[in-house]
Amino acid sequence: MHTSNIEIRDLLISWLVLGFCFSLILFHSLSPSGFIIALIGLGVGFICHELSHKFVAQKLGFRAEFRLWQTGLIIALVCAFISMFSPIGFLFAAPGAVYILSYTSRREGGLISLAGPSANIILALIFYAIAIHSSGLTQQLIGKYGMLINLWLAVFNLLPIPPLDGSKIFAWKIPVWAMLMVISAGLLALYIFGMFGAI
């Protein structure tokens, strides 16, 4: 998989900023330990999400690279600081996107967009397994918040609003979009209402 120095830089900046934002929302503080836990859960989810887009795009014969969106990062920071003092947290998690450097059909665009949220759903289940099978508190917290972060990334990116992934999947095949949204939103709701047990 071909990557450039600019792409690696943009991925790292986006990862650090989003990790900081998630730590503010999840822990309502500037805790270094909270930042590290958020970085691990987000790092795996965010990097896999974006590289899944890139991998599928390149498999389909396209040149694709991630680029950060400065306005999106600023909005994320504002949301995080507001949520830090609010009982209900919300994060605008759109720090950038994988850009395809040529025209794609609806099917191609849908398949490329499908890869990111699908990766997050799979990772959420992996983090859940880590949470319930770990004996150490740190590992349990990484599993717990890694699951939450990845479910949030999946649901947010599946919103059928351009330029989010959901808009392209919706335009390609509504049943596929609906299935992914029901799965990810359903799992997120179960998490929020404590249906996964004491994790």
Contact 53, 169 (CB under 8 A): no
Is the dihedral angle over the CA atoms 124, 53, 23, 161 positive or is it negative?
negative
Question: Which one is catalytic: 7, 50, 65, 108?
Answer: 50
* 105-128 residue pLDDT tens: 999 999 999 999 999 999 999 999
Between CA 57 and CA 49 the distance in angstroms is 13
Q: What is the mean pLDDT of residues 6-16?
A: 95
| 16 burial level (CB within 10 Å; 0-12, 13-18, 19+) | middle
pLDDT at 25: 86
Q: Is the model's pLDDT at 165 over the cut of 90?
A: yes
Give the domain ranges of the chain: 5-192
Instruction: Mark whether 50 is an active-site residue.
Output: yes
Largest CA distance in the chain: 49
Residue 105 burial (C-beta neighbours within 10 Å; 0-12, 13-18, 19+): exposed
Q: What is the pLDDT of residue 132?
A: 92
CA 25 to the chain's CA centroid: 15
Dump pLDDT digits (tens) for 63-100. 999 999 999 999 999 988 888 777 666 778 788 999 98
What pLDDT was estimated at residue 197? 65
H or E element in which residue 193 lies: none
Report CA Rg, the chain. 16
For residues 135-157, average pLDDT: 93
Contact assessment for residue 55 and residue 1, using Cβ atoms and an 8 Å cutoff: yes
